[in-house]
Amino acid sequence: MIAGSNGIIKLTVPLEDGRDQKKLMRDIKIANKEKWQKQHWRTIISCYNHSPWFEHYRDELEILYHRPFDFLLDWNLSCFEWTVKKLEWPVIISLTDSFQKSYDDMEMIDRRNNILPKNYLNFEPLTYRQVFEERIGFLPNLSILDLFCCEGKNAKNLLLKNHY
30 forms bridges with which residues in the sheet? Answer: 15
DSSP structural state of residue 117: T
pLDDT greater than 70 at residue 130: yes
C-alpha to C-alpha distance for 126 and 116, rounded to whole angstroms: 17
pLDDT at residue 158 in the model: 92
User: What's the predicted TM-score (pTM) here?
Assistant: 0.87
pLDDT at residue 160 in the model: 87
C-alpha to C-alpha distance for 126 and 123, rounded to whole angstroms: 9
N residues, the chain:
164
The values of phi and psi at residue 75, to 5°, are -65, -50
CA 30 to chain centre: 16
For 12-42, the pLDDT digits (tens) are: 999 998 888 888 888 999 999 999 999 999 9
Q: Rounded to whole angstroms, what are the CA distances from 115 to 81, 90, 112, 120, 141?
A: 18, 21, 8, 6, 10
Mean pLDDT value of segment 58-68: 97
* Selected residue with higher pLDDT from 160 and 73: 73
C-alpha to C-alpha distance for 156 and 64, rounded to whole angstroms: 21
Of the pLDDT bands very low, low, confident and very high (cuts 50, 70, 90), residue 55 is: very high
* Coil vs helix vs strand at 3: strand
32: number of Cβ within 10 Å = 14
Rg of the chain on CA atoms, in Å: 17
Question: E-assigned strands of 5-159?
Answer: 7-9
pLDDT greater than 70 at residue 163: no
